[in-house]
Amino acid sequence: MTRLNGKTCVVTGAARGIGRAIAARFHAEGARVILTDLDEPAGAAAAAAIGCTFRALDVREESDWAHLARDVPALDVLVNNAGVTGLEAGAVAHDPEHATLADWRAVHRVNLDGTFLGCRYAIGAMKAAGRGAIVNVSSRSGMVGVPGAAAYAASKAAVRNHSKSVALYCAQQGWAIRCNSIHPGAILTPMWEPMLGDGPARAERMRALVADTPLRRFGEAEEVAAVAVLLASDEATYLTGAELTIDGGLLAGSAAAPG
Ligand SMILES: NC(=O)c1ccc[n+]([C@@H]2O[C@H](COP(=O)([O-])OP(=O)(O)OC[C@H]3O[C@@H](n4cnc5c(N)ncnc54)[C@H](O)[C@@H]3O)[C@@H](O)[C@H]2O)c1
């Protein structure tokens, strides 16, 4: 597997879940992977297991990105994967009526500000070569409203749109720096744990969560990683400003459609 041979790739939020799967797959495809995360012990353990490099990076912090730019001034691929729902610590009001401004902003700081800072770094680190790939992990929730996770949905919609601005800006400059977004549906990662819980009700909750998904199952992080490999590779040199859904068919239809 050599689809990313020799490419220097940074993946954010890669200590676990989708980011970890992307880092592992990129490594297997021959890339030099720098796995980054806020969670240093988990990030270091994941990097050791994969056989790649770990670097602490909080995507919200401009200074962390500046340090990365100093140490990794030339880059082929950035995956802006780090993201939060705002529900990690348990039930918090995230509907449009009751969400606090602080909770709204906290989600946007990671998902949107973090992606903006990542794209800005990547452009600077790719423009000398005039080529590269930025992959932004948005969500299916960036394409539809989510009443109970309004900040998450709004921030992911903004990521989708910012990806297109970045794609067009780079094209305007005459650079082959591509930027695309991925929109996963329900992918079974630790992000779901607070919602799934333990005990006998877990299986029933899982079934209910994917009842409307045409493929009737959660996706796997490795299935998202496969899409990231395509977007990062030189097989996708005419793909920019695009959005790829990977959701078991969820967005292909509508509950209002006739059967
Ligand atoms: N799992 C899904 O069903 C699903 C669906 C659609 C989109 N996504 C998106 O995919 C991405 C990865 O999701 P996941 O399910 O693997 O989540 P996860 O919660 O399992 O992992 C997220 C990782 O991001 C890290 N992180 C959080 N805040 C950070 C910060 N400020 N700086 C750096 N790292 C930070 C966490 O430490 C963790 O390792 C997220 O952007 C998420 O919104 C996930």
Q: What is the pLDDT of residues 3-21, one digit of tens each?
A: 999 999 999 999 999 999 9
Identify the pLDDT of residue 75. Answer: 98
| Sequence-ordered list of residues with C-beta below 8 angstroms from that of 149, at least 6 positions apart, any chain | 85, 86, 87, 94, 141
Identify the pLDDT of residue 89. Answer: 84
Hunting for tokens 């001034």 — which residue is that?
A: 73
Nearest to 126 by CA among 253, 15, 8: 8
Give the mean model confidence (pLDDT) for residues 133-160: 98
d(CA 49, CA 16): 12
The answer on pLDDT for 256 being more than 80 is: no
Helix (H) / strand (E) containing 5: none
Identify the pLDDT of residue 199. Answer: 85
Closest residue by Cα to atom 1, ligand 1, is 187
- Ligand 1 contacts (CB < 6 A) are 12-13, 15-19, 37-39, 58-60, 81-84, 110, 114, 137, 139-140, 184, 186-187, 189-191
Atom of ligand 1 nearest to the CA of 42: 39
Share of the chain above pLDDT 70, in %: 100
The answer on pLDDT for 259 being more than 80 is: no
The answer on pLDDT for 33 being more than 80 is: yes
Give the mean model confidence (pLDDT) for residues 147-169: 98
pLDDT category at 91 given cuts 50, 70, 90 is: confident
Q: What is the pLDDT of residues 100-128, one digit of tens each?
A: 999 999 999 999 999 999 999 999 999 99
Atom of ligand 1 nearest to the CA of 184: 6
Q: What is the mean pLDDT of the chain?
A: 97
pLDDT category at 258 given cuts 50, 70, 90 is: confident
Atom of ligand 1 nearest to the CA of 182: 7
pLDDT category at 255 given cuts 50, 70, 90 is: confident
Q: What pTM was computed for the model?
A: 0.98
Identify the pLDDT of residue 155. Answer: 99
The answer on pLDDT for 1 being more than 90 is: no
Strand order across the 176-184 sheet: 53-56, 32-37, 8-11, 77-80, 131-137, 176-184, 243-246
Q: What is the pLDDT of residues 181-237, one digit of tens each?
A: 999 999 999 999 888 888 889 999 999 999 999 999 999 999 999 999 999 999 999
- Pocket test of ligand 1: the residue of 84, 163, 215, 220 to mutate, having most ligand atoms within 8 Å of its CB, is 84
Share of the chain above pLDDT 90, in %: 92
Backbone φ and ψ of 134, nearest 5°: -110, 130
